[in-house]
Structure 1
């Protein structure tokens, strides 16, 4: 089986991206629907990964703020967790950030995902805090 890949989402992909985020954040994790999507979605770079049947199974978004890029809304369908789709999305987000001149990427990691991000070169910065009712920690890494 080939390794998962990721690509930048186009406007036509948005319904599938939004549906995945709703399944993961709203239905699975209990994030209020009214805060899951926000105005930043309109300007963010969205990245997705598809499974063998061409369904969107992982996604994340990139927001640019000068030399610091912010990654967020990382979501993987429960059926594919641990199979490389999230790592493929993250790698593509890193490529997109670097191509746009970012030097550092930052994200708010849910605590159960902390080790995933540490394996990808991130370091925790600061204390644990609550966001949308879920424990998070801010993490950062440099870009090559």
Structure 2
């Protein structure tokens, strides 16, 4: 039996808060899963599902935010203005029962495509250090030294270059 296809969709933040809280803020009040960026009019939220099922199995929030510090080298093409073209994502989560089935990768692909359509040249996050292999498989590179977010754990900054959606194919250039 084949697994149902993964579908992604942009959704209101309320649709992903339950999963975000369960995975990233377990045992904490619901408000702990609400991020300041959720209210940013330029932010968007991606959810993933299996087949036609309504249960959110993966999620992420994407919003414009300058890359922290100097832009990593080498980036292809002319240097980008990180304030205008960088998108950050946070709140990436996959339901424990769905891990390893492609939901995180699907959320990143959909978020990357949408950020690219909005003019992003760089996508970055503060990712949990244990997730390094996942981010590297998705084409991200670690930047800088490990740091600790109190109450959450060790993190690294991960980034990857993105390019606007090509008109001919609809694909995002540079996608692994």
Q: What TM-score range do you get, normalising by the shorter chain?
A: 0.7 to 0.9
Partner of 1:68: 86
Secondary structure, counterpart of 2:16 in structure 1: helix
Rounded to whole Å, the distance in 2 between the matches of 1:108 and 1:31 is 20
Within a 5 Å distance, the mapping from 1:79-118 to structure 2 comes to: 79-118=97-136
Quick one: distance in 1 between partners of 2:115 and 2:28? 27
Mapped contact 2:94–2:103 kept (Cα < 8 A) = yes
Cα offset, 1:132, TM superposition: 3.8
- Structure 1 stretches lacking a partner, 5+ long: none
Distance 2:46 2:138 in 1: 17
Q: Which protein has the bigger helix share?
A: 1
User: Quick one: distance in 2 between partners of 1:132 and 1:46?
Assistant: 25
Higher relative contact order (CA closer than 8 Å, sequence separation 6+): 1
Q: Where in structure 2 are there 5+ consecutive unaligned residues? A: 66-83, 163-172
> Retained in 2: the 8 A contact 1:48–1:60?
yes
The root-mean-square deviation of aligned C-alpha atoms, in Å, is 1.7
Tell me the TM-score normalised to structure 2 length.
0.73
- Decide whether aligned partners of structure 1 residues 132 and 20 sit closer, same or farther in structure 2, where only a CA change above 3 A counts: farther
| Cα displacement (A) at 1:129 | 0.5
- Shift in Å at residue 38 of structure 1? 2.3
- The alignment of Structure 1 onto Structure 2 pairs a total of residues equal to 139
* Cα distance change of structure 1 residues 114 and 32 upon mapping to structure 2, 3 Å threshold: farther
Q: TM-score, normalised by structure 1?
A: 0.88
SS in structure 2 of the partner of residue 114 of structure 1: helix
Q: Deviations over 1:77-116 (max 9, x none)?
A: 1000110011100000100110000101011110111100
- Point out the structure with the larger strand share: 1
